Amino acid sequence: MRLHFTFELEQEVLEIDYRRKILAYIKFCTEKYNKEFYHELYGNGNNTNKDFTFSVYFVPPTQFYKEYISIKSKRMILNFSTPDSFLGIQLYNALCGQKFIWYKLSGGNAIRLINITSEKEKIITQNQAVFNTLSPLVIRDHSKETGKDCFYTFEDEEAASILKRNLISELNGKMDRDISFDIKQLQINFVKMKKVIVSSYEYKIATSLGIITMKGEPYLLQYLYQRGIGGKRSLGFGNLELIQ
């Protein structure tokens, strides 16, 4: 399920760490709509990746600065994608319930949802696909021993193997069968990418943006197209657009 939520901004200036504010808005809407569903997603400090991803498009003219973004149009579009239709409908209803209502963001700005459209999903039938990243790709290697994270980009030799290892870990026991072999066989190639440093809470994270090709089982490519790839997806990273 792919949805596009168009927002009006009260002011032209938005802090550069805008993804956390969008996530706070999604949490606010979800809790207002259905507390039980909210607690399933975020209860007890649950900050694990969810089965959705999003990216934000700021309608031009825009200018990016070190600490903020100037959005002359006062319009932004939240592009949302999930393979889970139930979750998608719940979030659609949650945001729809706040349509035309201003929501104050920390930092002094405010947003209100003014339009919702849906996009027909493409179906992947071949064993190869070309994707464009709509939001930065986070490749995170988490050490259980130290609790620390290391972030990699497409420039690093280990990048593809870390992505696949994390995917195996995330999907272990989640599918109706063990798909670890299919994930190991998945070929990920970074074709035309650039390194981008992104603010996320108090951290500066090295990420990757650009074109990725993947070769593997069509169902797996379809799942990644719908769910996104990499870390921090439900914080607005790793959203993919199928371009071929």
Residue boundaries of the structural domains of the chain: 2-119, 128-242
Q: When comparing pLDDT for 202 and 76, which is higher?
A: 76
Question: What DSSP line would sit under 199-219, residue for residue?
Answer: EETTEEEEEEEEEEEEES-HH
pTM: 0.93
pLDDT digits (tens, 9 = 90+) for 143-178: 888 888 999 999 999 999 999 999 999 998 888 899
Mean pLDDT of 75-79: 98
Query: Which pLDDT score, from 0 to 100, does residue 174 have?
Result: 86
**Bridge partner residues of 79 (DSSP):** 4, 55
Q: Which CATH class is domain 128-242?
A: alpha beta
Hey, do 2-119 and 128-242 end up sharing a CATH topology, with the first three levels equal? Answer: yes
Query: Which pLDDT score, from 0 to 100, does residue 198 have?
Result: 95
Query: Which pLDDT score, from 0 to 100, does residue 45 have?
Result: 74
Residue 92: enclosing H or E segment and its boundaries? helix 85-96
Query: Which pLDDT score, from 0 to 100, does residue 144 have?
Result: 81
pLDDT digits (tens, 9 = 90+) for 8-23: 999 999 999 999 999 9
As a CATH number, domain 2-119 is 3.30.70.1890
